Structure 1
Amino acid sequence: MTPALPKGFGQALDELARKRRIATARAIDAEARDRCRTLYGFIREAWPVLEPSTPFVGGWVLQALCEHLEAVSDGRILRLLVTIPPGMMKSLAVSVFWPAWEWGPLGRPDLRYLTTSFSEANVTRDAVKMRRLVTGDWYPRLWGDRVILVGDQNAKLRYENTRSGVREGRSFGSTTGARADRVIVDDPHSVDTAESDAARDAAVVTFREAIVDRLNNPAASAIVVIMQRLHERDVAGAILSGDMGYEHLNLPMEFEADRRCSTSIGFSDPRTEDGELLFPERFPIRTVEALKRDKGAYAWASQYQQRPAPRDGGLFKPEWFEYATHIPEGCSFVRAWDLAATVPTAGRNPDWTVGLKMARCRQGIFYIQHVARMRGTPMEVQRLILDMAAADGRACRIELPQDPGQAGKAQADALTRALAGYRVKTTPVTGSKLTRAQPAAVQAQAGNVKLVVAAWNTAFLDELSRFPSGAHDDQIDTFADALNTLAGEYRNNLAAWA
């Protein structure tokens, strides 16, 4: 028979076990707090809280970003520009983890943040993630006495803590009235509008005229701009050309030795060989090669190499184009036109009227069959269009541009009436020339565009090689419009061909 335990012995054991659990938890928490002394360590510890199903993948590029943000935290840098490719955890690092780290581990819960981006959806996403982090179980257990959100000031885009710290998120064009110790500009441009002069210039004006006024203390508060390059005259371009005193951390996907980045805090890009990858743990060589192929030369140079123009020239390369002597059976055809608005006069170098005929075969290869090109009066232009329509036949679609305004509509209507009996479509001209040409460049780089051997080949390739910096781009416009038209038609007919 088992002897009975002394009265109260069981409760004593339970209490001892409880104290041991508390002591163990405190030791674990103390170790976690110690690992969070650096921002990189904090991100590694906090990662499972926000991304429980995605393993943390670190690398020197994230460490470099963290070290520069820490330099902002301790006042060594007050103006920081980071140009970095997509997919590098930049928004999480800068707009979510860094403010949470300064409030908690760094012991600065009084700091006020204004975060902004071209997209309010992105601003909201990051604000919600930070609030979820600081109000969950893990963060309050370690720094709960420092960061307690105020109940009546706890919304998605703006919340305060009991130490007067504030985190506010706004879209980039709506920052008036807000002030902060840290202004974070995360992607001020949309990829879709960066080639629009009006949209891009508006973002640059907002940055120049509004952002610096959002600082609580211009002598001590900080601005951090983090973005992918999209154009030579984007916000980063304005910062770099204007000598605004920003520390520039430039991180291209593939290393270019002649552009090695070094900064005032002692950082130097550790790569040594041209082509070494920025973050091979997340973007191995196979992934990088696929991105280069899919993006095309211009987008790759801008968004991934942080150099908004290809290193060796323009958007197109003549060597991408193979020659053909004939066109296969069963193709679809279109002739796209670009109409010059200026009548040629002595001493001027006006635009050309161009009509480019293209075919697309069932295998997805594009053939540029013919380019008609002239400078003439409106009547001469109309005669050329009618002559080409007769030569091409009624199976060939005709694409006419409709320039903005009543005059453009009247011209398109007149040409459509003159082409009665042909398959004619008029399309308003929208978007920048560069944006419209991107799909054509991608297909050409992939080897999917061929030229039928003819006398016009030389002038066509010469203009392509200079785009977008050349004096003329009329042939580029028709190339892009014809390819985009046939690509859409091909997708519509793919099921029928199968």
Structure 2
Amino acid sequence: MNIAPNRLLDALMRTDFLTFAQRVFREINPNREFHVGWHHQTIAYFAARAAAGGDIDRLIVNLPPRSAKSTLLSVALPAFVLGRDPTKRVIVVSYNQNLSNSFSRQTRQVMQTPWYRRLFPDTVIPNRAAEEQYFTSRGGWRMATSTGGTLTGKGGDLIIIDDPLKADDAYSETARDALYGWAMKTLFTRLDEKTKGSIILTQQRQHEDDLSGHMLRTGEWLDISLPAIAVTEERFILSTTPLRSHLRRVGDLLDPVREPLEVLRGLKRQMGTAAFEAQYQQAPMPPDGDVIKLSWFRTYDALPEGGETVFSVDTASKAGLRNDWSVIGVWRIVDDRCYLDYLWRRRVEYPELKRSLIDLAGQYLPNRILIEDKGSGSGLLQDLKAEGYPVNAYEPGSLDKESRMRIQSAKIEAGRVLLPAQAPWLEEFQNEVRRFPNGAHDDQIDALSQLLDYAFAPKDTFFILSYRT
């Protein structure tokens, strides 16, 4: 048996992070192949430099989802760092503790393999090492925590932040501000030696004010931004010994094997332009009124037959001129297309709202009436239930109005929402779309968001209070 190649490979894995990371990938994904691209080479090169401390102490890596960033940076890099120096202390952060623990278990799995112990005999962790934190026999450790977690008394040499905000919270200003405050006041203060410690932040972009956005505006971070489709010509360093680089030209795909152009185009259609530009192109659009574009709506001349008729109701509590409007949207849902048939919008007191809704129900015979279960809507739900109408109590969750509409906007962009070519109420609806989210009122938008949530969600997620017989 020729052992020289094995010894050479072992020596390479001890010194070259990407070679080591490839072995890690095979260990935790035995039935999958790791297609190493030039982008993995540049990520590995800069991550290894940042982890070593010195000239790069703040590194941002922005790239599309499912690009092996977590395997490289949250799983392989801590094992590599602790193998080369078992006294190092590494903190790894993700938005969810379960996810963070999962990465920690994979690192532990790697560090307990015979091949890892052969490579780094001085780095030993207990056989029953805990998930959230385990120590080497030389006093170093790896700690897993989540965004907002307690780090009192904990300090590290290397902090790795991997997707610190879940996608559902990306459009929540409260969630973004909470993350930024925690990062600045808690996490970033945990470096033991501020002049030698390093922080690596990796994520798919989600919003212009996500954590990457905040950090990039300081001008103190090195940014490796890797859009799925290149929009500028840029050269990326792959190594310095020997010196190698990759020239990426406009239009070049990041991973043409896994995500060719037709796949990316399909993703853009499914996600909508705003989400695709953020998550795949690393170029989030500013939320300055572009949540919904009028050009996304299609028009119709005649309603199709069949389907179901759905009322989407947004209630206001009072009828004053400064208060919101009450809205009843009459929709026809046919073959995954939503046709707006009629829009009733008034400032009225509760009795007139109820009376108008009942009149419209007699005219259009709705299969469903959607009403948010809060404020005056709760009373309306109960009254209509008692009278046998097919009411559905709608629960929008914790997201704010803008966030909910952003999530639904992809359906509009995909051409699934149709407006009549002409209607007396159409212009005011279009004006509210243009002004959102900066307009004085958003009642029609709320009713639209509610309708789309119902139309494209599993029907058992809506609690049907009653059917009219």
Indicate the TM-score class for this superposition, using the shorter chain for normalisation: 0.7 to 0.9
1:65 aligned residue (15, 40, 43): 43
Matched with 1:138 is: 115
Unaligned runs of 5+ in 1: 1-20, 493-498
1:449 aligned residue (392, 395, 417): 417
2:405 aligned residue (437, 441, 449): 437
TM-score by length of 2: 0.85
Asked if the contact 2:91/2:159 (under 8 Å) is kept, the reply is: yes
Higher gyration radius (CA): 1
Matched with 2:448 is: 479
1:291 aligned residue (256, 262, 267): 267
Matched with 1:158 is: 133
**Distance in structure 2 (CA, Å) of the matches to 1:376 and 1:26:** 86
Distance 1:334 1:89, change over 3 A: same
Asked if the contact 1:115/1:123 (under 8 Å) is kept, the reply is: yes
Asked if the contact 2:289/2:438 (under 8 Å) is kept, the reply is: no
**Distance in structure 1 (CA, Å) of the matches to 2:294 and 2:245:** 36
Deviation at 1:158, TM superposition (A): 1.7
Aligned sequence identity (%):
29
2:372 aligned residue (401, 407, 413): 401
Matched with 2:389 is: 422
Asked if the contact 1:212/1:218 (under 8 Å) is kept, the reply is: no
Matched with 1:356 is: 329
1:121 aligned residue (80, 91, 98): 98
Distance 1:444 1:268, change over 3 A: farther
Asked if the contact 2:59/2:222 (under 8 Å) is kept, the reply is: yes
Asked if the contact 2:327/2:346 (under 8 Å) is kept, the reply is: yes
Q: Does 1:413 align with 2:389?
A: no
2:290 aligned residue (314, 323, 332): 314
Moved more, 82-91 or 25-34: 25-34
After superposition, residues 65-464 of structure 1 pair within 5 angstroms as 65-72=43-50, 73-104=52-83, 107-144=84-121, 146-150=122-126, 154-177=129-152, 178-241=154-217, 243=218, 245-257=220-232, 270-273=247-250, 275-309=251-285, 314-341=290-317, 343-345=319-321, 351-361=324-334, 363-376=335-348, 381-382=353-354, 384-393=356-365, 395-403=366-374, 408=375, 412-414=378-380, 416-417=382-383, 420-430=387-397, 431-438=399-406, 440-453=408-421, 454-464=423-433
**Distance in structure 2 (CA, Å) of the matches to 1:257 and 1:269:** 13
- The one-letter code matched in structure 2 to 1:248 is D
Asked if the contact 2:235/2:247 (under 8 Å) is kept, the reply is: no
Distance 1:359 1:62, change over 3 A: same
Per-residue CA deviations over 1:421-448 (Å, capped at 9, x if unaligned) read 4323333442332443356423322222
- Matched residue SS, 2:389: coil
Deviation at 1:414, TM superposition (A): 4.6
Moved more, 116-125 or 46-55: 46-55
- Matched residue SS, 1:252: coil
Asked if the contact 2:328/2:343 (under 8 Å) is kept, the reply is: yes
**Distance in structure 1 (CA, Å) of the matches to 2:426 and 2:249:** 41
* Paired residues, number: 452
- Matched residue SS, 2:46: helix
Deviation at 1:336, TM superposition (A): 0.8
Distance 1:164 1:359, change over 3 A: same
Deviation at 1:61, TM superposition (A): 1.4
**Distance in structure 1 (CA, Å) of the matches to 2:284 and 2:439:** 16
Cα RMSD of the aligned pairs, angstroms, is 3.2
- Matched residue SS, 1:192: helix
Deviation at 1:332, TM superposition (A): 0.4
- Matched residue SS, 2:429: helix
- Matched residue SS, 1:270: strand
Matched with 1:13 is: none
Deviation at 1:131, TM superposition (A): 1.6
Asked if the contact 1:332/1:486 (under 8 Å) is kept, the reply is: no
**Distance in structure 2 (CA, Å) of the matches to 1:87 and 1:448:** 28
TM-score by length of 1: 0.81
- The one-letter code matched in structure 1 to 2:115 is W
Matched with 2:6 is: 28
**Distance in structure 2 (CA, Å) of the matches to 1:401 and 1:128:** 42
Matched with 2:465 is: none
Asked if the contact 1:358/1:483 (under 8 Å) is kept, the reply is: no
Matched with 1:48 is: 26
Distance 1:262 1:29, change over 3 A: closer
Unaligned runs of 5+ in 2: 462-469
- Matched residue SS, 1:355: strand
**Distance in structure 1 (CA, Å) of the matches to 2:59 and 2:137:** 29
Asked if the contact 1:118/1:171 (under 8 Å) is kept, the reply is: yes
**Distance in structure 2 (CA, Å) of the matches to 1:280 and 1:327:** 42
Moved more, 313-322 or 473-482: 313-322
Per-residue CA deviations over 1:137-169 (Å, capped at 9, x if unaligned) read 22222222x3222468x2222222223221111
Asked if the contact 1:352/1:374 (under 8 Å) is kept, the reply is: yes
Asked if the contact 2:208/2:286 (under 8 Å) is kept, the reply is: no
**Distance in structure 1 (CA, Å) of the matches to 2:30 and 2:127:** 27
Distance 1:64 1:467, change over 3 A: farther
**Distance in structure 2 (CA, Å) of the matches to 1:466 and 1:113:** 47
**Distance in structure 1 (CA, Å) of the matches to 2:245 and 2:350:** 60
Asked if the contact 2:309/2:368 (under 8 Å) is kept, the reply is: yes
- Matched residue SS, 1:188: coil
**Distance in structure 1 (CA, Å) of the matches to 2:377 and 2:419:** 31
Deviation at 1:205, TM superposition (A): 1.9
- The one-letter code matched in structure 2 to 1:252 is P
Asked if the contact 2:169/2:176 (under 8 Å) is kept, the reply is: yes
Deviation at 1:377, TM superposition (A): 5.0
- The one-letter code matched in structure 2 to 1:477 is D
**Distance in structure 1 (CA, Å) of the matches to 2:188 and 2:407:** 38
Asked if the contact 2:235/2:248 (under 8 Å) is kept, the reply is: no
- Matched residue SS, 1:233: coil
**Distance in structure 2 (CA, Å) of the matches to 1:342 and 1:237:** 41
**Distance in structure 2 (CA, Å) of the matches to 1:371 and 1:42:** 61
